[in-house]
Amino acid sequence: MAFKLFGNNIAVDCSYCDNCIIAANGEEICIKNKAIIDGKCRKFSYNPLLRKPFKPPVLPKFDPEDFQL
């Protein structure tokens, strides 16, 4: 069994499904007329190119005093 790009256990989310389009009002619509029921969708097709990366955390500001012994 081959490993997928982000692992084999990808949570079902319409934002990175091939069968999802975004309407003019920003709503996600399934072109196969399916819905996520109990965390599963029968027509879910994962597309890694639709996945948006998380923003990196903001690093705290340090003073030179923090690095003195």
What are the pLDDT digits (tens) for 49-62?
Answer: 887 778 889 989 98
3-state percent breakdown (helix, strand, coil) of the chain, nearest 5:
15, 15, 70
The structure tokens 């989310």 sit at: 13
Per residue in 18-47, pLDDT tens? 888 777 887 777 878 877 777 677 788 888
pLDDT at 4: 63
Phi, psi of 17 (to 5 degrees): -110, 140
| Residue 6 pLDDT grade (very low, low, confident, very high; cuts 50, 70, 90) | low
